[in-house]
Amino acid sequence: MLIHSLFSLLLAVLPNADSQIEVVSKEENSYQVSGRLFLDHQFSGEATTPKTAASCINCKWHLQLICPNPLLDPSDLNYDCTEPKSYSCSSLNQQRYRVWFLGQGLWRPSDWRVTGTACLGPSGPRAVTTMQTELVETAKGNLPELKIQIQPKSNSLVNLPTRALVKSSNTFQFATEVSGVMVTVTATAIYRYSFGDGFTISTPAKSISHVYRARGSRPIEVSATWHATWFSNLHGTNAVGGAALIQSKTAMANVLAVRGRLVKR
């Protein structure tokens, strides 16, 4: 009856998660997470749970402290509450929590199930969007410099092609550690070319040609938007959402109108 009441209350207070937001709330000795959850290397339980937690947008999680009252409850989830070493974490400021899971589309209290245990510090569980925000900030310092070149290098001519080329790599990868887990971030670029006369195009191509119909000085801007994924052996491959990684460079094209002249010989 107590479990029924707890989960009825939990379902009532948790809002629906959208594709970019995870909601984390705290009650006495427990946390509620709606959306995606980052479980680190100290998770112990079903092998599929960390992957599900990292990718399932509309799932719900309830993290409940193990052995909150050792004197009243000497055992909890097969742990000996009278022996703290049996359920201790690697860090002294962490505590072990059982991980309850409610899958997408499920709602009944009986649908909740324990999938394992996790160690949490004072700041509580990490939502995936929080972790990804940190990844994006780290990625900004690892992006290859955007380099562009305009051809012809001197003056462009009306009615003849002017080409914008990207001279830097369109992929990058780096590895970083997140809560003791090695995470690899891989990204590819989509380019937006703007030729300064109203013509724009977005494409993965690193070279685009355009023909100007009038003379003048034209700013050619190339923007690179990086689409990234993150991977770990524990969590599988997941898209990096949230803030986009965008770079831009501008170069000038001096477009001349050249008139031909027939020469009688």
Q: pLDDT for 105-151, tens place per residue?
A: 888 989 999 999 999 999 899 888 888 888 888 888 888 899 999 99
The string over 149-165, giving b where at least 16 C-beta atoms fall within 10 Å of a residue's C-beta and e elsewhere, is ebeeeeebebeeebebe
pLDDT digits 0-9 by tens, 72-94? 888 888 889 888 888 899 888 99
Instruction: Identify the pLDDT of residue 264.
Output: 65
- 139 and 111 together in one domain: no
Predicted confidence band at 242 (pLDDT cuts at 50, 70, 90)?
Answer: low
22-26, 47-51, 182-186: which range is least confident on average? 22-26
The CATH number linked to 246 is: 2.60.40.10
Q: Which of 40, 33, 25 is nearest to 91 (CA)?
A: 40
pTM, entire model? 0.75
User: What residue ranges in the chain does DSSP mark as E strands?
Assistant: 23-27, 30-34, 37-38, 44-45, 60-65, 75-76, 79-80, 95-102, 113-120, 126-127, 148-151, 155-157, 161-166, 171-178, 181-194, 200-203, 207-211, 216-232, 236-239, 245-256
pLDDT at position 222? 98
| Residue 175 β-bridge partners | 184
Q: Within 13 Å, how many C-alpha atoms sit on residue 85's CB side?
A: 0
Residue 198 sits in the same domain as residue 222: yes
Could you list the residue range(s) of the whole structural domain that residue 71 is in?
2-124
Residue 58 sits in the same domain as residue 119: yes
* pLDDT for 260: 63
66 lies in the same domain as 166: no
How far apart are the C-alpha atoms of 28 and 38, rounded to whole Å? 21
Percent share of the chain, pLDDT over 70: 89
Indicate the residue among 78, 102, 124 that finishes a domain.
124
Q: Which of 82, 109, 124 is the last residue of a domain?
A: 124
Q: How many domains does the chain have?
A: 2
